[in-house]
Structure 1
Amino acid sequence: MAQRILALELSGDRVRAAVAERSWNSFTLAGVYDKVRADDEADLTGALSRLVVEAGQPDIVISALPVDRVVKRLLDLPFKDARRLHQVVPFALEEHLPFPVDNGTVAFIRVGREGDHTLVMAAMVRKTDLQQHLDLLKKAGLDPKIVTLAPLALAAMLTRSKNGNGNGAKPMAHLVVEGDESSTSVVLVDLGGTPRAMRSVPAGLMMSDGSPVTQDAAAPILNSLRQTLLAHGEEAEPTEVIVAGAAAAYPKVRGMLSDSLAMSVRDGGAFDYTGLFEGSVPNGGKFSTCIAMLLGELPNHPLDLINFRQGEFMFRGRVRGDLSPFYTSGMLAAALLAVLIFHFALGVSAKLNRLRRVNAEIAAVAGPVLGETDPANAKVQLQSGIAKMNKRLNLIGGNLTHSPLDTMVAVSQALNRRFPVQMTDVQIDSQGLRVTGQADSFTTVDQAKRALDKSGYFGSIEVAHAKAGSDPSKVDFRMDANFKDAVPATDREIEE
């Protein structure tokens, strides 16, 4: 779900705002708004409420303090460690102030590095002024996640958008002038994009009707611009002046600056912002500072904004669509899932390795008999092969307990050639002997039975049947003789 981000700038009797919609991979400028305090309203609460109704309820709010309420200094500190910076910056800033910082809130951002040194833009606002700002927004139902310094964000945005155009233009320093009827702020950004100076003047360059102020009224502002350029001449050569805020909408104001400073002056709203926002971006010189603050919430490479919501003023609200409170739980769950997957993979790997070893052993055992075969079918193929071999052995008598040859010798010795018995069929199996033939009488059949019994080679001997044959002088008979260790002939017949 897309998040709606509202950036607010409160100046005198006017509220300006810009709204962006952010998803995980897009950042779109949704609109800009301008509301003025009504004559019967004591403060800007009404204007803020009307703006929220028109722009829609935001998920994230970024607001800017008036520049005349903030003390700014560029500090050069001889280390880069972030923890030490948080410890040292308030005391380093206090050295440049005629009063202690105990009653103020200090914030800073790193704006550059030179060797082992860190350039820091530090700022301080009195706690009472910050609390009044938060209370005013709270009346309109707004709780800003970031309270920042708009001119510094504006300078960073213009530097990024210009450098990101890829138009091959010669690098230049920027003197960013942002102002309206009541105040003017100045930020000097060097060729590398590092802010070198920041000043504010409690006076405007324009009248309420948009016409420029007189030379006498503009003198403090123009003198401040000249002093800034002279103090940083080597770092800011060549320099172009960029006008933003309400003054950017009036060419006469830009003409006055150009004539007074003898320098080229550009409208901040004329910069190409397509590399920062998706879709079309209107000429927003009047709303440049608000648009710049939105970039603090870019999905990728957001601007680093000074944030006065520190310490007792820390933002403790919840942001719709912000999953950061669940990051720890999500990371623990992901780690647990990774352990489970790793454990499962190890188990599968061990089982596969064991299966490979078993298959190799099966192939080693069955290979000499079956050749190359699937280990999964080796048992079935071996059983089938054994059954076929047994069948063939049965046919030749090779797997019988009593050799057919020995059996025939025993029968031949018991029933010699002179014995009046003619055998027409002889069957030998694992149980014994079955003889079918003819004799000259029933007495001869009985004598043959006794002769086989006397040989000692057989166990039980039974005459299955004996009857007169087709030849009246012959008797047909069938005799079953079991081996000594075989089951009786009657049991064998039941099995058959």
Structure 2
Amino acid sequence: MAQRILALEFAGDRVRAAVAERSWNSFTLAGVYDKIRADDEGDLAGALSRLVVEAGQPDIVISALPADLVVKRLLELPFKDARRLHQVVPFALEEHLPFPVDDGAVAFTRVGREGEHTLVMAAMVRKSDLQHHLDLLLKAGLDPKTVTLAPLALAAMLTRAKNGNGAKPMAHLVVEGDEDSTSVVLVDLGGTPRAIRSMQGGLMMSDGSAVSQDAAAPILNSVRQTLLANGEESDQTEVIVAGAAAAYPKVRGLLSDSLAMSVRDGGAFDYTGIFEGSVPNTGKYSSCVAMLLGELPSKPLDLINFRQGEFMFRGRVRGDLSPFYTSGILAAALLAVIIFHFALGVSANLHRLNQVNAEIAAVAGPVLGETDPANARAQLQLGIAKMNKRLNLIGGNLTHSPLDTLVAVSRALPPRFPVQMADVQIDSQGLRVTGQADSFATVDQAKRALDQSGFFGSIEVAHAKAGSDPSKVDFRMDANFKDATPATERDEPGNERDE
């Protein structure tokens, strides 16, 4: 879900704003707005409320303090540890303050490094002025996540836009102004802000015309001194005008004549490398647009933020998942442990399976050759069944071989015994004989002869009856081997002897 970001700036009796929509991979400038205080309104709360109605309720609010209420200094500190910077910056700034440090809210941002030293742009505002600013926003139902300094954000945005277009590296003197105030920021060749000044009064009238030379002289002198005091060469410095004054050629001409330098309109820069889609000339809304860059999805501007300490932002931002980061990290760590444990278990089981397969292959290999260990058991059982079948055919797996059985029968029956054997079956249990005899007495005599041989156990005549030849008797005789199942248990029902 896209988040709606509102950046606000107060300029005299006006409220200016820019709105951007941010998703996880896009950042689009949705619109710019300008509302003026009505004659019957005591402050800007009414204009601010009307602007919010027109722009839509925001998810994130960024606002700028009037630059003339803020003390700014560039400090060089001999360390880069963030914790020490937070401890030292207020005291390093105190000597430049017209009021005690305990009465102010301090904020800073790192703007560069020189060896082991850190360059920070430090700023301080009276706590009473900051509270008044927050109260004004609260009347319109707004709780800003960031309260910053617009000229510094503007200078950073113009530097990024200029460098992003592949232009020759230049120092920038950024002049932002309207009819009530003027701010100047000097950015060196390396992109580091070296000086920032704020002055009462502007270079333009309410109708857009330039002020007189006498009224402009103090401002122009401060701009010239800022440029000279920091040793920047004019041929390496580009003057950029932003804010409401940028829209009027007479103001740009006044600056160009006074400084003897060319002047560019900062609102006409190409910002397509920063925002998605087309971006119109931002003109007097340049500062608001610059503050939006503090919420870029990637590589956001590092804005000064006065919402520190007792003024810390404690609201909730729709779509902001930062309160769940700790829980998410713990859940991710737990999931990683579970996956790692599962992977170790799978790895151990696979290793054990490989060992078992290797042992199966070593055992079954001499018999089956190369085979799949998963099918080794079935193949062994099939092979055993085939071997049993072959042994049955030759009697190799019987307790008494067919040859020994036939020899025993031949010895038991006397020579020229009047019996004809039509079918002889030998299995693991015994002998089954089907044939013809010349009489029932001969059948009984054959039974006794086999019984007396001692080779068989129980002997049963399954049936004996007159045959198709009246002189012959058809019979079937079952003789079990010793310790084998009795013949009656092997016979089918109905196989009884017929007398």
TM-score (norm 2): 0.96
Moved more, 225-234 or 239-248: 225-234
- Shift in alpha-carbon separation, 1:479–1:256, aligned structure 2, 3 A: same
For the residues of structure 2 that align with 1:98 and 1:43, how far apart are their CA atoms? Answer: 27
Inter-partner Cα distance in structure 2 for 1:197 and 1:483:
120
The code of the aligned residue for 2:299 comes to H
Give the residue type in structure 2 aligned to 1:170: K
* C-alpha deviation, 1:346, in angstroms: 2.1
**Map of 1:73 onto structure 2:** 73
Query: Equivalent of 2:392, from 394, 401, 404?
Result: 394
1:69-107 deviation digits (Å, cap 9, x = unpaired) = 000000011111111111100011112234321100000
Q: CA deviation at 1:369?
A: 2.8
The 5-angstrom pairing of residues 26-425 of structure 1 reads 26-166=26-166, 169-234=167-232, 238-425=236-423
What's the offset of the Cα at 1:156? 0.3
2:16/2:34 contact within 8 Å kept: yes
CA change 1:347–1:311 in 2 (3 A) is same
CA spacing shift, 1:146–1:173, aligned 2, 3 Å: same
CA distance in 2, matches of 1:479, 1:412: 15
The change in CA–CA distance for 1:464 and 1:220 in structure 2 (over 3 A counts) is: same
Aligned-residue offset at 1:472: 4.1
* 1:160-186 CA distance string (max 9 Å, x none): 0000012xx322111111111111111
Q: What are the superposed Cα offsets for residues 194-225 of structure 1, whole Å, 9 maximum, x if unpaired?
A: 00011111111111111111111111101101
Q: Deviations over 1:421-472 (max 9, x none)?
A: 3333222111111222333333222222111111111111112223334444
Letter in 1 for 2:80: K
Shift in Å at residue 238 of structure 1?
1.3
Letter aligned with residue 47 of structure 1: A
Question: Which residue identity lines up with residue 434 of structure 1 in the other structure?
Answer: R
1:283-313 residue CA offsets vs partner (Å, 9 max, x unmatched): 1121110110000000010001000000000
In the alignment, what sits opposite 2:12? 12
The 1:236/1:25 distance shift into structure 2, 3 A limit, reads farther
Q: 1:131 and 1:314 mapped to 2: Cα distance?
A: 12
Please, which of 451, 454, 461 is the counterpart of residue 449 of structure 2?
451
Letter in 1 for 2:84: R
The Cα shift of 1:226 comes to 1.3
Q: 1:287 to 1:470 in 2, by over 3 A?
A: closer
Name the aligned partner's letter for residue 172 of structure 2. H
The answer to whether the 8 A contact 1:174-1:236 is kept is no
Q: Deviations over 1:399-441 (max 9, x none)?
A: 1111112111211111132433333322211111122233333
Letter matched to residue 33 of structure 1: Y
**Partner SS state of residue 422, structure 2:** strand
Instruction: Tell me, yes or no, if the aligned pair for 1:190 and 1:236 is still in contact at 8 Å.
Output: no
Q: Secondary structure at the match of 2:102?
A: coil
> How far apart, in 1, do the equivalents of 2:420 and 2:272 lie?
118
Aligned identity (percent) is 88
Matched, 1:462 2:460: yes
Partners of 1:472 and 1:324 lie apart in 2 by 112
Counterparts of 1:72 and 1:171, CA distance in 2 = 26
Structure 1 pair 323–126 and aligned structure 2 pair: CA distance change class (3 A) = same
Question: Given that residues 234 and 261 in structure 2 are in contact (C-alpha distance below 8 angstroms), is that contact kept between their aligned partners in structure 1?
Answer: no
Which whole-Å CA distance do the structure 1 matches of 2:440 and 2:46 have between them? 137
CA RMSD of aligned residues (A): 1.6
Which stretch has the larger CA shift, 355-364 or 18-27? 355-364
Q: What residue is the counterpart of 1:434 in the other structure?
A: 432
Q: Which moved more, 1:155-164 or 1:332-341?
A: 332-341
More divergent stretch after superposition (391-400 vs 64-73): 391-400
- Residue 235 of structure 1 deviates from its aligned partner by 7.2
Instruction: Give distance in 1, aligned partners of 2:71 and 2:396.
Output: 113
Amino acid at match of 2:248: Y
* Partners of 1:477 and 1:120 in 2: CA distance: 123
Query: SS at the partner of 1:200?
Result: strand
Query: How far 1:372 sits from its partner (Å)?
Result: 3.0
Structure 1 residue runs without a partner (length 5+): none
- Aligned pairs, number: 494
Distance across 2 between alignment mates of 1:152 and 1:483? 114
Cα pair 1:72 1:122 within 8 Å, conserved: yes
> Is the 1:173–1:237 contact (alpha carbons within 8 Å) kept by the matching residues of 2?
no
**Greater CA deviation, 131-140 or 456-465?**
456-465
Q: CA deviation at 1:490?
A: 0.7
Structure 1 residue 10: Cα displacement: 0.5
Cα distance in structure 1, aligned partners of 2:232 and 2:172: 13
Cα shift at 1:236: 7.0
- Summarize deviations over 1:362-389 as a string: whole Å, max 9, x none: 3333333333333333333332332222
CA distance in 2, matches of 1:437, 1:391: 27
Relative to structure 2, which stretch is displaced further, 98-107 or 13-22? 98-107
Secondary structure in 2 matching 1:63: strand
- What amino acid maps onto 2:22 in structure 1? R
Q: Which whole-Å CA distance do the structure 2 matches of 1:58 and 1:428 have between them?
A: 101
Q: Distance in 2 between matches of 1:170 and 1:383?
A: 85
- More divergent stretch after superposition (204-213 vs 417-426): 417-426
Moved more, 380-389 or 325-334: 380-389
Using the TM superposition, give the Cα deviation of residue 234 of structure 1 relative to its aligned residue in structure 2, in angstroms.
Answer: 4.3
Amino acid of the structure 1 residue aligned with 2:239: V
- Counterparts of residues 473-484 of structure 1 (less than 5 Å): 473-484=471-482
The answer (yes or no) to whether the contact 1:463–1:479 under 8 Å persists in 2 is yes
In 2, distance between residues paired with 1:176 and 1:84?
Answer: 31
- The residue type paired with residue 328 of structure 1 is T
Q: Which secondary structure does the structure 2 equivalent of 1:102 belong to?
A: helix
CA 1:272–1:199 in 2, change beyond 3 Å: closer, same or farther?
Answer: same
